[in-house]
Structure 1
Amino acid sequence: MPATAESRARTRAFARVIGPWLVIVTGIIAVRAPDMGPLAADFFASPLTVWFTGALLLFGGLLIIAFHQYWSSAAAVAISLFGWFLALRGAVLLAAPQLIERGVAVSARVPLLVQVGFGIAVLIGLWLTYVGWIAKPDSSPAKGVL
């Protein structure tokens, strides 16, 4: 199904928010990866903080799912998948936080792998930032960058 003008505009709007967020937040995590272990331990020491974070992740993911269910371009797919990722991660954090805690503990032992993973997220963020802020909106019915 070809993208409509509305779906392209919505993808562009979501890219304008998610792109810079990914660049900034995941970039900081990539740079600070060797120091993140104690921070993660402190995070999981407070069940209320874990629960509240899970609730916020679920809420943010559901917002993206509700307002951006488009799969007509690479950027639209990335944004929709990001919404599903947030929602699922939030639900797991609410229902089974020990699973996330174990994953964080394992990844803290290999900071280089964390840096590579979050470095990839930075590249995706740069691409979404380009799509949202720099690329010219495509007004034709054919698929463009969006």
Structure 2
Amino acid sequence: MSASIEAQRRTRAFARVIGPYIAIFATVYAIRLPELVGLINDLFARPVLVWLLGAVMLGAGLVIIGGHRSWRGPLAVTVSLFGWFVAVRGFLLIAAPEAIRSGVDATMLSPTATTLARIFFVALAAVGLLLTYSGWFTKPATPEQGTLLGDLGVRRRR
């Protein structure tokens, strides 16, 4: 099996997990965003929980970064960027929790920013659904399916 096929399979395996996770949480965030203010305040009132959440997020992001080293194609780029996003957020929760909290507070105090955050989470949910679809319902391209013509069953000339 070629490295390219193995990389595609690994990308799809990560997409199978990351896609539903993003779709579910982003949808819940978009719907319940104003209600989450109390939950966020409770979280930041306990520094040990913030530190623990940051440590778990940093670890999860590093697992994705270390386990998924492919940047070929939109699906692979999305999976890799998600790993980096989670790792950076985890690091910031450990290193600068007050910066994260002030950003959340500023977003929640502004009706415009809250609306924009909801739109962002809806778009993120759509990305999660695309990852889910790609991870569960697509197959890696074989060497002769490297192009759109290959996907249609037409062989490329050598």
TM-score, scaled to structure 1: 0.92
Larger mean CA deviation between 110-119 and 73-82 belongs to 110-119
Measured after TM superposition, the shift of residue 137 of structure 1 is: 3.1
What pairs up with 1:29-108 in 2 under 5 angstroms? 29-108=29-108
- Determine whether 1:138 maps to 2:105: no
Report SS of the residue matched to 1:138.
Answer: coil
Q: Distance in 2 between matches of 1:94 and 1:143?
A: 44
Q: Distance in 2 between matches of 1:72 and 1:95?
A: 32
Look up the match of 2:126: 123
Unpaired stretches in structure 2, ≥5 consecutive residues: 152-158
Unpaired stretches in structure 1, ≥5 consecutive residues: none
CA RMSD of aligned residues (A): 1.6
Q: Distance in 2 between matches of 1:58 and 1:6?
A: 26
Q: Distance in 2 between matches of 1:143 and 1:131?
A: 17
Residue identity opposite 1:91 in structure 2: F
TM-score, scaled to structure 2: 0.85
User: Contact 1:73/1:143 (CA < 8 Å) preserved in 2?
Assistant: no
Measured after TM superposition, the shift of residue 136 of structure 1 is: 3.2
**Aligned residues between the structures:** 143
Identical residues among aligned pairs (%):
43
User: Contact 1:60/1:87 (CA < 8 Å) preserved in 2?
Assistant: yes
Shift >6 Å, 4+ stretches: none
Measured after TM superposition, the shift of residue 48 of structure 1 is: 0.6
